[in-house]
Structure 1
Amino acid sequence: MATINCTGTLIDLSTPHTMGIVNCTPDSFYDGGRLKNDAAILNQVETMLDAGATFIDVGGYSSRPDGTDISVEEELSRVLPVLDLITARFDIKGLSCDSFRESVIEKAINHGATIVNDISAGILSENTLQTVGKAKIPYIMMHMRGTPQSMKTMTDYENMVVEINRYFSERVAAARACGINDLIIDPGFGFAKSTQQNFELLSDLDLLKAHRLPILAGISRKSMIYKTLDSTAQESLNGTTALNMVCLMKGAKILRVHDVKEAMETIALYNQLTVN
């Protein structure tokens, strides 16, 4: 559990890390459409790396609730040029492709992606697990139900945490069978979960440690924060920081965030807390 192998580079996850979000989409809930040119993309990546990000996560499909279902061709046209741009400028060992489509994932790996971040854990696209297993790169599998277009209607659980743990047990077994060695689990805050359920999941996040796999937490500026605070995504940095500390105390090893500097400060304080 302590390390993952990113194409020959071992990254130690015994202490927490950050993953900076690079959204190449016009409609993401917080920063959609901000990265309008190459210079803006490179500036954001450089800022995140300078702040201490270990991972950069590039995505071209907005998975927010009710997001537009774009074509594979459109997703590729957004993601591949950005991967090429980043790899030409930076040497990032943990360069992630955020996609659930096998055809996008396969091409992204050929364009420099060293990690796959799949919101569907291989369910929404046939052969994804086989493709990742063949590439021998780390795989982040998230819990969700349905699709981004339908997940808001799929929040009926008998025992949510038990069902999430069962889901991961099944998906981990499927991934192992396809030769994936390095796995990270993401409980999927905001995906087929109500605001109340998101907080229930956060409270019980440590129960996912039973899988003995690194946990990624992605709560950055999500609606569970700004709806609770009667605010907006743009005004949710303070709430994000507060809940990121909870994620760390509950066992998260990667914080997927829009604001790397503040997340790194949270990790520094958490590390100091655990020393004593």
Structure 2
Amino acid sequence: MPEFLLQCQGTIHTLSTPWIMGILNSTPDSFYAGSRLNAPREAAERARAMLTSGARIIDIGGYSSRPGADPVTPEQEWNRLKEVIPAVAEVLNDFPGSFISVDTFRADIADKALLAGAHWINDISGGNLDPEIFNVAATHRCPYIIMHMQGDPSTMQLNPAYSHVTQDIITFFSEKLPRLHDMGIHDTIIDVGFGFGKTLEQNYQLLRELHAFQLLGRPILTG
């Protein structure tokens, strides 16, 4: 794979081999039941196990993006995260070069999470649901994962439609990345958003054509 450099908290990290992301969902209704947790101690233990097994990034979310999941207020989302993130951050002290990403599309939650110990933002909406999240990423100078999603979690699977799914998503990133760069957000990671506003066949097409996204010159996250 190509070699990329990522700056995080004043340190340059080389990404020349794939990094594994472990998922911790501080939610009762996320896609995968095995990722759900409900206590800081449990989160810390799960994070330690994943880091020991080779994960470099622990992604923590408090808002389920599963189709049909119940809406979550900002207050509920933050209450699910505010004790979990510091607990996991303490574990990371034993694993230098590892990071926490906060899975949120809300600018205020991202800001609080970064102040509480997270290092990256993982935004499933690519800034479409809360454009202020770009300003948060720029202020903190943190890596920003920009994902493509058609619609929002409540509507994304109703009738996904594209002229050409791969070309349309490349266009999406081609329009977003220069704007992020102009705002000072240089450490971007792209995520095509498998399962987020795509049919099964569109997901398979994206998987077959994933190499096409290398022309954007950014690391690619898949899951």
Whether the 8 Å contact between 2:48 and 2:91 is mirrored in structure 1 is no
Give secondary structure in 2 for the equivalent of 1:202.
Answer: helix
Q: Which amino acid aligns with 2:50?
A: M
How far does the alpha carbon of each residue in 1:61-104 deviate from its partner, in whole angstroms, 9 at most, with x for none?
00111222100000000012101111233326411111000010
Q: Distance in 2 between matches of 1:54 and 1:162?
A: 30
Q: Distance in 1 between matches of 2:189 and 2:11?
A: 16
Quickly say closer, same or farther: Cα 1:184–1:34, change in 2 above 3 A.
closer
Q: Distance in 2 between matches of 1:117 and 1:181?
A: 15
Residue 182 of structure 2 aligns with which residue?
A: 177
Give secondary structure in 1 for the equivalent of 2:13.
Answer: strand
Aligned residues: 218
Counterpart among 23, 27, 32 of residue 21 in structure 1: 23
Q: Distance in 2 between matches of 1:11 and 1:51?
A: 20
Q: Which runs of 4+ in 1 moved over 4 A?
A: none
Residue 155 of structure 1 aligns with which residue?
A: 160
Counterpart among 107, 112, 129 of residue 117 in structure 2: 112
Q: Which amino acid aligns with 2:84?
A: V
Q: TM-score, normalised by structure 1?
A: 0.76
How far does the alpha carbon of each residue in 1:211-255 deviate from its partner, in whole angstroms, 9 at most, with x for none?
00000001xxxxxxxxxxxxxxxxxxxxxxxxxxxxxxxxxxxxx
Q: Following superposition of structure 1 onto structure 2, how do residues 1-276 of structure 1 map, counting pairs within 5 Å? A: 2-31=4-33, 34-91=36-93, 93-218=98-223
Q: Distance in 2 between matches of 1:95 and 1:33?
A: 15
Q: TM-score, normalised by structure 2?
A: 0.93
Q: Distance in 1 between matches of 2:147 and 2:203?
A: 14
Question: Structure 2 unaligned runs (5+)?
Answer: none
Cα RMSD after superposing both structures: 1.4
Q: Distance in 2 between matches of 1:38 and 1:213?
A: 33
Give secondary structure in 2 for the equivalent of 1:151.
Answer: coil
Higher helix share: 1
Q: Distance in 2 between matches of 1:33 and 1:138?
A: 23
What's the offset of the Cα at 1:136? Answer: 0.5
Identity %: 39
What's the offset of the Cα at 1:33? Answer: 7.7
What's the offset of the Cα at 1:135? Answer: 0.6
What's the offset of the Cα at 1:171? Answer: 1.2
Q: Which has the higher contact order (CA 8 A, sep 6+)?
A: 1
